[in-house]
Structure 1
Amino acid sequence: MKTITKLIPVIFLSVIMGGSLFYSCSQEKKEEIAVVLPLDAALSQAGENRVELEKALHRYQSNPSDSLKYRAACFLIENMPFYTYYKGKLLEQYLTFFTLLQEARSKKIYPQAMVDSVRRMYGPFSLDSLQYCKDVLTVDSAYLCSNIDWAFKVWQDQPWGKNVSFADFCEYILPYRIGDETLSYWREDIYRKYNPLLDSLRASTVLDIEDPLVAARCLCDSLRKRSRFFTTTIPQGLPHVGPEIAQSVSGSCRELSDYVVYVCRALGIPCAIDFMPLHGGGNDGHQWVSFADKYGTLYFQEYPDKIKEVRKDKMCEASKIKVYRNTFSLNRVMQAEMQRLDTAVVPFFRDPHIVDVTADYAKTYKKRLEIPTSMLYSGKPRSRIAYLCGSSRMDWEPVAWAEFDGKHLAFSDVQIEPVMRIATYERGRLRFWTDPFEMTVSGEFHVFAPSDSVQDVTLFAKYPLWQDEKYQKRMIGGVFEGSNDPDFRQTEVLFLIEKQPERLRTMAYSRSLTPFRYVRYIGPEKGHCNVAEIEFYEAGGLLPLSGRVIGTPGCYQQDGSHEYTNAFDGNTETSFDYTEPYGGWTGLDLGTPKVIDKIIYTPANRDNYVRSLDEYELSYCTRRGWRTLGQQTAMLDSLVYKRVPKGALLLLQNHTRGKQERIFVYEEGKQVWK
């Protein structure tokens, strides 16, 4: 597990490596200082609970055979002051959201409707209404010792434990919590539930059962078969859900990652949660679970996908600025350096339980990103820390930091290409020191600043459509047909889709003048007949033709949510997704033959196109903030804005619905997302 071990904060390594080959008398005193100071600091904050923590220490200190357990107890206790959690009835009520997700899907209830329902039932969620607890004040000796004993059991009993160092054990198996979840006894229950999944591995004479990655793959391949419900729409502000709720396998990447970590650690498989604070081309962060084989090669899993090697996967090419690994131990080196430079630190870097692993996840990155003085605004910063910020809608979020004297500034290990901006944190808010910029593959800086030149722009979307692209491509080769036979034994092509649609509503004209009673859309090979909405028109008709919806029943989801009838329900957010790659179709029985003049069709989508009758506002980024270019009500599936400054970052907001909006520039007549 070399890749994971090398990332543990230096101070922690000095504590746990006392038994290594490099141990000497001259080091003994230094190690005692490194251990005693954090441990004493933790015990001094424990108040009346100090007795419980010392009881655990004395239990292992009294028996020489428990020396490693004693050091493990020290590790947990000295990091305990930095962890808190919440308890209360409102939290319990809101956590039912996750257990109900599976049932809601079969009933065609969308996650947002469930969020709204929970809010109506229990009122708005607020952490202030819950009981606030500190680990160092509440964790008793029974809980602590139970966690340590079970962690050691799986480490020492499982065959792959031979290739897990004590350092990796402490950081990636031993921790009793992941984040701020309510504490519970979880190890034994999860062990007994999931350990049988590895019986065949332990009995294998073919697989390398002493490689932790082999164990991780065997386990995760079994877990992937479990039913799950993924959604990014969850009640806002909730802490981590905890091991019991995580086993419902429902929620966002955070809940699914937590699930994998609980199960792996309960079975002695070391793993960590790695994350990007912000997507390079998106507004939100993302996280996943990382593993290493016995040679130190780094792997990762975005549940429910398979475990893959990082360097051989598109993960390295994904747009990002920084990647970090969550650690249970405090990164005291980072904390001390930031406290030396400034007392005002942004929340993300306060008490940092993270280490930087960007270099492991990025193919094109700068080991040292130096910001040219010419790009910096004039003035003198009050803070000696500058932050590299990524874009999130109209906000800028710090994702990296460096020492700053107002002139010289360089950040370590930064992936190039995403849009960034430099800021300091002064008086509780960000103060910007550059215009937004990006670094190209050739190593040149490109600054986004509004110029005096203006242009007219035509907009079709408010968010990148890369997630929709697969649906757009699935329509290429799709055919609209007409027939006077209800079984379509004799058909005539009305229109063949030859390129992927680029807007919400694409208009096509029929090639036939023959009247047909039955009309349909049949998807191309491997297209699952994906289509969101279809409208057929007669010549001069202002309204789409109506009729009895006909088609092939069955959808890929096998829950009735994506049936053929969705293509004629008037809702562009619902779609048909046939159960088989080919053979599905959807259409209308018009009652009497009619000549089709034109067809309007909509690809399956995530509702980020411009929608008719929705209220929009276009803004552009200036040195002092965002400036509006006015609001419009869309009359079609596009918007036209005149006299837009060239070179500026733009953002289109939908004030009627939806939350996904992303910065872009307008170049050569198109929106270019950033």
Structure 2
Amino acid sequence: MCLNLDRSSFYFILTLVLLIVNACQKAPEEKLKEVAEYAGENKKELLKVINHYQKPADSLKLKAAKFLIENMKGHASFAGDELKYVDVFSDSLHSMWKPENIIEIKSEDERENLIKNIVYTLNMGKRLEKLQVVEDIEIIKADYLIENIDLAFQAWQTYPWSKNVSFDDFCEYILPYKVYNEPLQSWRKEIMKEFAWIKDSIQYPVSLKQVTLLINKAVNNQMVYSPAMKNLPLAFSYSNLKKGRVGKCEHLMTYNTYILRAMGIPAMIDYVPLWGNNSSGHSWGAVKAENGVLFTFDALYPQPDSEQNSITNIIPEGILRNRKTPKIYRKNYSTHTTDEHPVRWLKINQIPAIFFDVNRIDVTSEYNVSITDFSFKPDSVIESEYTYLCVYNTNDWKIAAYGKRNTKGEYVFQNLGSDIVYLPVIYKNRSIIPISYPFLLLENNTIRRFKPDTNNCTILKINRKSFEDYELKIALTKMIGGIFQGATQRDFADSKAIFKIESKPVPKTNTYKITDQSYFRYLRFILPDQVCRVAQLQFYGIPRDSKGNTSSKEVLLTGNLISGEFKPGYEPKNIIDKNVLTYFVSTQEKGGFVGVDLGRNCFARITKIEFYPPNDGNSVEVGDLYELFYWDDGWKSLGKKNAVYEELVYNNGPENGLYRLKNLTKGYKERIFSYKKNIQIWW
């Protein structure tokens, strides 16, 4: 059965088929027979596998074979003529890594632009949309399954670190012949040969964590993350990934999982479909250590040395970046369609895409995150037996969890992430319909509802449309210690510090008043111990000409721009182009600088410096058009304003409102916020 489908439609159809076939719980032998019949003409290949392991000595392998076959429905692979372009694409990426080409690629930005160009030139997005989806059960061959089973057992039974892995964990996290929906391809033998050195490199007593860290360290630089791959499907085999060395999170996780499983590590893929206080989601790896506690890691980044002696059950970098999660799931091979699973009870067009995957389980409770069971009763009677909770993600409300109605008329949600703003909705005709006001769910199972009081308004002073994320805070912190200097000699031999940044600047114009009375011709900003980055820089002062005449008022000081060495495309002119997202970037790790030469016979006493540091473009910018909204059964506008200053003032903000600010001129990212004591509180 070959279908040209997008991913949501693909999973939807497979789910319906799976449910029809599995409408009743079957005895193991009956289920196996039913699955074999479902395979149609490929039934003979499945029976070859079963017959191959019928000998008593191979009884455990027979159980493993039955596990793979009984749970094969719902697993599929991309196929079709367009798949050849994945090979072309991987070959193009591979050429990028040749030594002579790596020398030419001077920065991560250049590499990413090159990847984007390859994606665009080959028209990969459109081509891969045409890929067919073929169910594995209809195309998989006996020899392929037998090789996979035998090599999986070899790894499980011969590697010393795998000796305590249970048969159930082996079947679920070592045995599977694929990770996502990539094409079928043999991969175990190649990996086992390439990583044979692992066994001789370990220290005894050996542990699953120790080997995982060793493998991760070895593959750390073999692949890189690329946003250009974000919208491409998971149609990349192990050989494609190894050759191209580029991918989005799921591609990186696929590559990592192949290697770990080939080496007998029961590698699990856990993921957050939607962050509760940020855009998108995240996937990472997890291994259940010998003591039963989860050891987690990002796909291709080894744990820092400081963390290698502690086993944790945290989302990698989740705490670091203060990410909140409504739900955490684990990608399994086996199918999970209990009576409580939404695909058992919802009809066509009533299943949110997030619940299509019947090969995942909810593992939120296994993680060190703040969760609570929550019961919700709508303000009015709802016909639906189930309701949903949305989180605000990527500039829209998106379904993150479902709850079932109990005998009290309450909808019960289990293991739900707290300290997150949720919107209760029902789902109908592929659309969400709000049924109550958004609320903040607290850890103690209480809520704070954002019901706007339009009869009582407050003054809102707004500086940003999204919060300062981790990367921005790091970039701003690096500015501490930066020095503004003045000099009369071009080589700054007689330089004098006129201002030093002592605290983290804000991501907008920082104005520094200068009291030094000296006169200078040369002015610059220097970050002595880190690479210098500046978005905008202006000096103001009182000029003095060659005759000793001084200006009667403060003026903007202009002249010829000066700098040390800089990256191509990040020239000194960027500091005066009035674009806060173009930078001067030095190539010097120490002593990089940018500034201005006021000109021959022109000196000035500096009175003020306006400095715009590295930023994310989410602060209010002068000249841009903005619109502020509050939620009241939909987003209601509080009006549009052109920013005259780097702050917007609205006098009509409803008390207890939930707001979002949109830049109508440019930009995309925005977050919801509440407002208290003149502060935007981000959710």
Call closer, same or farther: CA 1:132–1:159 in 2, change over 3 Å: same
Q: Bigger CA drift: 495-504 or 154-163?
A: 495-504
Q: What secondary structure sits across from 1:274 in the alignment?
A: strand
Tell me the distance in 2 between the aligned counterparts of 1:82 and 1:49.
16
1:661 corresponds to which letter in structure 2? E
Kept in 1: contact 2:561–2:573 (CA 8 A) = no
How much does 1:148 deviate? 1.5
Residue identity in the other structure for 1:352:
V
1:69 corresponds in structure 2 to 61
Which moves more between the two structures, 136-145 or 392-401? 392-401
Distance 2:328 2:402 in 1: 13
CA displacement, residues 532-577 of structure 1 (integer Å, 9 cap, x when unaligned) = 33233445687662424222x47xxxxx479785863745334466
Select which of 647, 650, 654 maps to 1:645. 654
2:178 partner SS: coil
For the residues of structure 2 that align with 1:50 and 1:410, how far apart are their CA atoms?
A: 43
1:476–1:524 CA contact under 8 A, matched in 2: no
Residue among 556, 563, 566 paired with 1:550: 563
Name the SS for the 2:390 alignment partner. Answer: strand
* Structure-1 residue corresponding to 2:106: 106
Aligned counterpart in structure 2 of residue 356 of structure 1, from 340, 359, 362:
362
- For residue 393 of structure 1, report the CA deviation from its aligned partner: 4.1
Q: Deviations over 1:176-195 (max 9, x none)?
A: 11112222222222322233
The question of 1:219 aligning with 2:215 is answered yes
Instruction: Assess if the C-alpha contact under 8 Å between 2:278 and 2:323 holds in 1.
Output: no
Question: Runs of 5+ in structure 1 lacking a partner?
Answer: 1-31, 555-559
Distance 1:191 1:652, change over 3 A: farther
Q: 1:49 to 1:546 in 2, by over 3 A?
A: farther
Q: Equivalent residue of 2:485, what SS?
A: strand
Q: Name the residue aligned to 1:324.
A: 329
Equivalences for 1:56-135 in 2 at 5 Å?
56-61=49-54, 63-88=55-80, 90=82, 93=85, 95-96=89-90, 106=106, 108-109=109-110, 111=112, 114-115=115-116, 118-119=119-120, 121-122=122-123, 125=126, 128-135=129-136
More deviation in 392-401 or 479-488? 392-401
TM-score using structure 2 length: 0.82
Deviation at 1:394, TM superposition (A): 4.3
Instruction: Determine the structure 2 residue equivalent to 1:24.
Output: none
Deviation at 1:163, TM superposition (A): 1.5
Does residue 264 of structure 2 align to residue 268 of structure 1?
yes
Is contact 2:296-2:313 (8 Å) kept? no
CA positional deviation for 1:254: 2.2
- Of residues 38-47 and 243-252 in structure 1, the stretch that sits farther from structure 2 once superposed is 243-252
1:449-460 alignment, distance < 5 Å: 449-452=451-454, 453-460=456-463
Q: CA deviation at 1:340?
A: 4.4
Higher mean C-alpha displacement, 272-281 vs 242-251: 242-251
Give the secondary-structure state (helix, strand or coil) at the position aligned to 2:163.
Answer: helix
Question: Is 1:388 the counterpart of 2:397 in the alignment?
Answer: no
Q: Which amino acid is the alignment partner of residue 356 of structure 1?
A: D
Deviation by residue 1:338-384 (Cα, 9 ceiling, x = unmatched): 51476633222224211122122234321x2222x3xx231322x31
Q: What fraction of aligned residue pairs are identical, expressed as a percent?
A: 29
Change in Cα spacing, 1:39 to 1:657, as seen in structure 2 (3 Å) is farther
Aligned to 2:7: none
**Out of 575, 582, 587, which is 1:568 matched to?**
575
CA 418–599 in structure 1, closer or farther in 2 if over 3 Å, else same: same
Say which is worse superposed, 356-365 or 612-621, in terms of deviation: 612-621
Query: Can you list the C-alpha shifts for 1:608-631, whole angstroms capped at 9, x where unaligned?
Result: 3334444433222222x2223344
**Residue of structure 1 equivalent to 2:628:** 618
Counterpart residue number, 2:596: 588
Q: Conserved in 2, the CA contact under 8 Å of 1:418 and 1:439?
A: yes
Distance 1:385 1:265, change over 3 A: same
Q: 1:203-247 CA distances to partner (integer Å, 9 max, x unpaired)?
A: x4xx322x22221112112222x2543344435252353323433
| Conservation of the 8 A alpha-carbon contact between 2:230 and 2:248 | no
Q: 1:561 to 1:229 in 2, by over 3 A?
A: farther
Look up the match of 1:16. Answer: none
In 1, the alpha carbon distance for the partners of 2:480 and 2:434 equals 46
Q: Which residue of 2 aligns with 1:370?
A: 375
CA drift at 1:599: 2.0
Amino acid in the other structure paired with 2:233? L
Would the aligned equivalents of 1:229 and 1:251 in 2 still touch at CA under 8 Å? yes
Q: Is the 8 A contact 1:475 1:497 kept in 2?
A: yes
What is the SS of the residue equivalent to 1:333? Answer: coil
The one-letter code matched in structure 2 to 1:385 is Y
Mark the CA change 1:257 to 1:351 in structure 2 (over 3 Å): closer, same or farther.
closer
What is the Cα deviation at residue 444 of structure 1? 3.0
Aligned to 2:527: 523
Structure 1: distance between partners of 2:93 and 2:642: 37
CA distance 1:634–1:286, shift in 2 (3 Å): same
Q: Hey, what's the Cα distance between the residues in 1 that align with 2:632 and 2:649? A: 21
Relative to structure 1, the CA distance from residue 415 to residue 195 in structure 2 (aligned partners, 3 Å threshold; closer, same or farther) is same
Aligned length: 623
Structure 1 Cα separation of the partners of residues 440 and 187 of structure 2: 46
Q: What secondary structure, in the 3-state scheme, does the structure 2 residue paired with 1:81 have?
A: coil
Is 1:424–1:430's contact at 8 Å kept on the other side of the alignment?
yes
AA aligned to 2:397 is: W
User: Partner of 1:152 in structure 2?
Assistant: 153
Whole-Å separation in 2 of the counterparts to 1:550 and 1:74: 69
Matched residue, 2:409? 407
The residue type paired with residue 465 of structure 2 is K
Aligned to 1:244: 239
**For 2:423, what is the secondary structure of its paired residue?**
strand
Q: Does residue 45 of structure 1 match 2:58?
A: no
Q: What does residue range 6-45 of structure 1 map to in structure 2 within 5 Å?
A: 33-45=26-38
Q: Unpaired runs of 5+ in structure 2?
A: 1-24, 543-552
Alpha carbons 1:493, 1:511 under 8 Å: kept: no
Relative to structure 1, the CA distance from residue 261 to residue 444 in structure 2 (aligned partners, 3 Å threshold; closer, same or farther) is same
Q: Can you list the C-alpha shifts for 1:636-667, whole angstroms capped at 9, x where unaligned?
A: 54434442323222222234444322111222
Q: In the aligned structure 2, how far is the partner of 1:51 from the partner of 1:217?
A: 42
Give distance in 2, aligned partners of 1:463 and 1:92. Answer: 42
- Give the whole-Å Cα distance in 1 for the aligned partners of 2:554 and 2:255: 55
Q: Distance in 2 between matches of 1:416 and 1:459?
A: 26
Greater shift, 492-501 or 415-424, is seen at 492-501
Please state if 1:177 is matched with 2:178.
Answer: yes
Please give the alpha-carbon distance, in whole angstroms, between the structure 2 residues aligned to 1:235 and 1:112: 14
SS in 2 for 1:511: coil
Further displaced range: 252-261 or 531-540? 531-540
CA contact (8 A) 1:290 1:298 kept: yes
Q: Is the 8 A contact 1:324 1:358 kept in 2?
A: yes
Letter in 2 for 1:608: N
Query: SS at 1:163's partner residue?
Result: coil
* Secondary structure, counterpart of 1:470 in structure 2: helix
What letter is aligned with 1:669? N
Q: Please give the secondary structure, in 2, of the residue aligned with 1:288.
A: strand
Aligned-pair RMSD on alpha carbons?
A: 3.2
Deviation digits for residues 290-323 of structure 1, max 9, x if unmatched? 1122121211112314166324787467421111
Q: With structure 1 as the length reference, what TM-score do the two structures score?
A: 0.83
Aligned twin of 2:225: 230
Q: Is the 8 A contact 1:391 1:397 kept in 2?
A: yes
Alignment CA distance shift 1:386-1:500 (3 Å): same
In structure 2, the CA distance between the partners of 1:486 and 1:193, relative to structure 1 (3 Å rule), is farther
Give the secondary-structure state (helix, strand or coil) at the position aligned to 1:151: helix
